[in-house]
A = this chain, B = another copy of it.
Amino acid sequence: MPDHFLALDWGTTNLRAHVADATGRSLLRRDFALGVAGLAPGEAARRFAEEVRPALAAEGLPALLCGMIGSTLGWQAVPYLDCPASLADLAGALCRIDQPGPPVWIVPGLRAQRPGDGGPDVMRGEEVQIFGWAMADPARQRGSHLVCHPGTHAKWVRLVDNRIERFVTAMTGELFAVLRTHSALRVADAVESESAFAAGLAAAGDGGALAARLFTARSRVVGGDLPAQSAESYLSGLLIGAEVAATPGLLGVAPGADIALIGDPALCARYERALAAHGHATTAHDGEAAVLAGLAALYRELFPC
């Protein structure tokens, strides 16, 4: 196999590309404002060939792509793989783009049935992070682990003996974004406030009646016990507090279980505070390193030594 490959995390809003070796070490990294949400049909292949490869001087290298690039809005729609699924299952379901030149593979997303009658849930990209996270420590590859990946669409994932067994998506980040931008909870001149965040966490209670609790981010301002500029921090606490109070239960996770957080450090820190209030011990892990480790592991599955 070639010594190096192109490792691409190609998501909704951004494309992060590395030239990496088979151990997952990055030799070169470039970001591109080529999020899937902004791509016209057919555009992904062209921009990849004309911009991404040249920018990384990676003309001859095979490429592994994960994330929303495998959705109907991306380069090519790659069917979801059903859970439970291991890294080897994922490697076996890679989709090779039908084109001349060095091979390009897209990692399929995962689909899992939610507990009860919750219907299907889906992810694209986080599965690579989670397997990459597990690569770093043999203890993570045995037994049951709960991983939370905060973000626009936060993922809560149960990994059992290194297979993704089930997961649930909470659209907390998107709720925060649309409410702070488009709703009566919108405030001008928001200032971050630790104490308002804590008040929001407390107001989340057991996570129930969220539409009613959300209104307190407004009524506390007009009713006189929350400064308007702190309402956004309060809203953040309320939404994250409601998520962490109720989502682990959907996965059958016991109160107080250990939880691994993978993602943006500032956002992970907020989740740590919220989870601590519910008695969960947490560890925080870098998402970018996890993607790279996961893509490298898939690359080694493709080209076993």
Contacts and interface: CB of A to CB of B under 8 A. Distances in A.
A178 B183 contact: yes
Contacts of A80: 223
Contacts of A219: 119-122, 169
A114 B216 contact: yes
Contact of A183 (B117, B120, B171): B171
Contacts of A121: 215-216, 219, 223
A274 to B, nearest CB: 13
A242 interface: yes
A42 to B, nearest CB: 21
Contacts of A206: 208
A249 interface: yes
A120 B223 contact: yes
A153 B223 contact: no
A133 to B, nearest CB: 21
B119 A242 contact: no
Interface in A22-65: none
**Which of A122, A181, A206 counts the most chain B CB atoms within 10 A?**
A122
B243 A117 contact: no
Contacts of A183: 171, 174-175, 178
Interface string A112-149: 00101111111000000000000000000000000000
B247 A212 contact: yes
Given A182-B181, A203-B118, A223 B111 contact: yes
A249 B206 CA distance: 13
Interface in A195-213: 202-203, 205-213
A184 interface: yes
A206 B174 CA distance: 22
B182 A212 contact: no
A160 B80 CA distance: 55
A187 interface: no
Nearest to A214: B171
Contacts of A242: 209-211
28 contacts: A80-B223, A111-B223, A117-B202, A119-B223, A120-B220, A120-B223, A120-B225, A121-B216, A121-B219, A153-B215, A154-B211, A168-B209, A169-B215, A170-B209, A170-B212, A170-B215, A171-B183, A171-B215, A171-B218, A174-B183, A174-B184, A178-B182, A206-B208, A207-B208, A207-B209, A207-B210, A208-B245, A210-B211
The 5 closest A-B pairs by CB, nearest first: A120-B223, A209-B246, A170-B212, A210-B210, A170-B211
